[in-house]
Amino acid sequence: MKLWGGRFTKETNELVHNFNASIGFDQKFYHQDIRGSIAHVTMLAKQGILTEAERDTIISGLTGIEADITNGALVIDGSQEDIHSFVEANLIARVGDVGKKLHTGRSRNDQVALDMKLYTRDEIDAVDELLHTLLKELHTLMKENVTTYMPGFTHLQKAQPVTLAHHVGAYFEMFKRDRSRLADTKTRLNFCPLGAGALAGTTYPLDREYTASLLEFSGATQNSMDSVSDRDYLIEFLSALSTIMMHLSRFCEEIILWNSNEYRFIDLDDAYSTGSSIMPQKKNPDIAELVRGKTGRVYGALISLLTTMKGLPLAYNKDMQEDKELTFDAIDTVKGCISLFTGMISTMRINKTNMESSAKNGFTNATDAADYLVNHGVPFRDAHGIVGQLVLFCEQRGIALDDMTLLDYKSISPVFEADIYDAIRMETCVNKRNTLGAPGPEVMKEVIARNEAYLNQ
Ligand code: ARG
């Protein structure tokens, strides 16, 4: 029996029922649906719309349904079109006619708006927690690698020496911003739509602010048409999830490069790598590749929902039911990716020697050689040209700047003295970069301490 069967003279066509139904996926938020109903009847009783006895009967029926779904005694089947109808039909079967009063002053339009907000709010917390764990892992990596020298790149060409702590610190900032984006989304979504009815409120004297406070919202929404047709918060959430994936994907791309035969900066753990069915020597970074690959799927959810919403007249339209599967899929994808990524980086081995020799062999200290000349009175443009000659000299011989003899240095510029070697050592190059945000160890330790305070707040 349909909730709305009254004005119909025919049964719904079976294909129509299946096409229209959302119970296959909206059962995911039965907890939130029941939580919302309990708050609703609590408010109805406070307002004298239900008696206290009616309220208690309905609440105990709802609590029983929730427990039975959770323990498997009550199986959600496809007979009802959505989770709201399923819970209500079961309530009436359990507690009799009083159950029919649950839906007083409510529509499935404001009900689904509420359920999805409650669900999203819970999932924002879950994603935030996973990001926090990831950040703790990055923090450990940073603490352990303040003097792990490596090349910093621009255009994927070796540029200037940095440290692994500094490189990882860039991602620390990105995931920190991701958490704050999630928090913003939560702040903006945190207004309760219940009481908006189908679109124009209700004639019952509901206390919407009271319902909102029972459900830990900051307040009630201000316009009933907007309340049932707003999906902005999902678009913001999917956008924040897409940005998280973009960050993970960039990091994965680097992990894949670093783990390649050419770089050998890191070795992924066997438990986080896979083999080839034909090439016995292979250890592939499949997890990193999959995280990178799944990014497109989360972007897809965002674009899909934006497109669904763009032509919808006010207020509720069934198109909006399409918000669910793609959001659920995006949430599962992002949660899985953050967890696996965290496991992957916490078990990888870092080849410090390879990182450092790569920095040396790529002339990442060339800027510092030019700075040396500038400090000895050579104008920067001339210094740039001289160091260009040094690089050419080294390239022709397959050596690093550190490997040149002083005689060779002097043949290119007499300004060079024996202290040039110290001036271009990786350690010196990095140590001197001590402005806030730079890789120098002193300032890096300061940033690490700030990060520590952030993680503990
Ligand atoms: N399953 C619907 C959704 O997800 C619930 C709201 C149904 N309301 C309606 N008037 N058909 O959007």
327 lines ligand 1 (CB under 6 A): no
304 is catalytic: no
Q: Is 317 in the pocket of ligand 1 (CB under 6 A)?
A: no
pLDDT category at 277 given cuts 50, 70, 90 is confident
Q: Is 228 in the pocket of ligand 1 (CB under 6 A)?
A: no
Look at residue 310 in the predicted model and tell me its pLDDT.
98
How many angstroms separate the Cα of 378 from the Cα of each of 26, 119, 383, 391, 407?
71, 65, 6, 18, 19
- Could you tell me if 357 and 347 are in contact, meaning their C-beta atoms sit under 8 angstroms apart? no
Nearest CA to ligand 1 atom 2: 321
Q: Which atom of ligand 1 is nearest to the CA of 323?
A: 4
The residues near 156 (Cβ < 8 Å, ≥ 6 apart) are none
Per-residue pLDDT at 276:
75
Ligand 1 geometric centre to CA of 124 (Å): 23
Q: Is residue 1 over pLDDT 70?
A: no
Helix 286-309 with 232-258: angle, nearest 10 deg: 160
Residue 146 tokens, joined: 């303040």
Residues 173-182, mean pLDDT to the nearest whole number = 98
- Tell me which of 5 and 202 has the higher pLDDT: 202
Q: How far is CA 178 from CA 52, 131, 239, in A?
A: 45, 8, 10
Q: pLDDT per residue over 343-402, tens digit each?
A: 999 999 999 999 998 998 889 999 999 999 999 999 999 999 999 999 999 999 999 999
Question: Is residue 7 within a helix (H) or strand (E), and if so which, with residue range?
Answer: none
Of 79, 276, 339, 411, catalytic: 276
**Cis geometry, peptide bond prior to residue 315 (ω within 30 degrees of 0):** yes
CA distances from 424 to 359, 388, 438 (A): 11, 15, 17
Q: Give 278's pLDDT tier (boundaries 50, 70, 90).
A: confident
The count of residues in the chain is 457
Token output for 296 = 């497109």
Give the pTM.
Answer: 0.94
**Residue 123 Cβ < 6 Å to ligand 1:** no
Instruction: Give the atom of ligand 1 at the shortest distance from the alpha carbon of 318.
Output: 12
Rounded to a whole number of angstroms, the distance between the first and last alpha carbons of the chain is: 52
Token pair for residue 122? Answer: 């819970």
Q: How far is the CA of 111 from the centre of ligand 1 (A)?
A: 9
In this model, does residue 4 exceed pLDDT 80? no
pLDDT digit string, tens, across residues 327-341:
999 999 999 999 999
Ligand 1 nearest-atom number relative to CA 84: 5
Kindly give the distance from the C-alpha atom of residue 356 to the centroid of ligand 1, in angstroms, as a whole number.
Answer: 59
Tokens 């070697």 found at: 421
Mean pLDDT of 283-301: 96
Q: List the Cα angle 370/372/375 in 5-degree steps.
A: 110
Task: Find all residues with CB under 8 Å of 297, minimum gap 6, and list them.
Answer: 329, 330, 333
Band the pLDDT of 17: cuts 50, 70, 90. Answer: very high
Cα torsion for 15, 21, 24, 27, to the nearest 10°? -160
What angle in degrees, to the nearest 10, is found between the helix axes of 108-144 and 441-456?
150
Look at residue 11 in the predicted model and tell me its pLDDT: 87
Distances (CA, A) of 443 to 144, 166, 185, 248, 446: 15, 10, 33, 26, 5
Average the pLDDT over 72-86 and give the result. 96
Q: Please, what is the angle between helix 441-456 and helix 164-189, to 10°?
A: 30
Residue 113 Cα to ligand 1 midpoint, Å, equals 9
Is the shortest distance between the CB of 273 and ligand 1 below 6 Å? no
pLDDT in tens, 420-431: 999 999 999 999
What separation in Å is there between the alpha carbon of 406 and the centre of ligand 1?
79
Cβ 82 under 6 angstroms from ligand 1? yes
Question: Does 259 score more than 80 pLDDT?
Answer: yes
Q: What is the pLDDT of residues 386-433, one digit of tens each?
A: 999 999 999 999 999 999 999 999 999 999 999 999 999 999 999 999
Is 21 close to ligand 1, i.e. is its CB under 6 Å away? no
Residue nearest to atom 4 of ligand 1 (CA): 321
| Rounded distance between C-alpha atoms, residue 442 and residue 453, angstroms | 17
Does residue 148 surpass a pLDDT of 80? Answer: yes
Q: Is the CB of 321 under 6 A from ligand 1?
A: yes
Question: Angle, to 10 degrees, between the axis of helix 164-189 and the axis of helix 108-144?
Answer: 160
Domain parsing of the chain, residue ranges: 5-104, 109-146+161-194+223-357, 361-455
Whether residue 192 contacts residue 213, with contact meaning beta carbons closer than 8 Å, is answered with no
What is the maximal distance between C-alpha atoms in the chain?
101
CA of residue 380 relative to chain centroid, distance: 44
- Residue 361 Cβ < 6 Å to ligand 1: no
3-state SS, residue 159 = strand
**Is 84 in the active site?**
no
Find, among 183, 58, 161, the residue nearest to 371 by Cα.
Answer: 161
Q: Specify the fold of 361-455.
A: Ribonucleotide Reductase Protein R1; domain 1 (1.10.40)
Angle at 315 between CA 311 and CA 321, to 5 degrees: 70
Classify burial at 77, counting beta carbons within 10 Å of its beta carbon; exposed 0-12, middle 13-18, buried 19 or more. exposed
Residue 109: CB within 6 Å of ligand 1?
A: yes
Positions of E strands within 280-352:
349-350
Residue 83 C-alpha to ligand 1 middle, in angstroms? 10
Architecture of the domain defined by 5-104 = Orthogonal Bundle (1.10)
Angle between helices 232-258 and 323-347 (to 10 degrees): 30
Residue 316 CA to ligand 1 centre (angstroms): 8
Minimum-distance ligand 1 atom for the alpha carbon of 324: 4
Residue nearest to atom 11 of ligand 1 (CA): 318
163 forms beta bridges with 149
The residue whose CA is least distant from atom 12 of ligand 1 is 321
Q: Tell me if 229 CB under 6 Å of ligand 1.
A: no
**Can you identify the CATH homologous superfamily of domain 109-146+161-194+223-357?**
Fumarase/aspartase (Central domain) (1.20.200.10)
Q: List 153's β-bridge partners, or say none.
A: 158
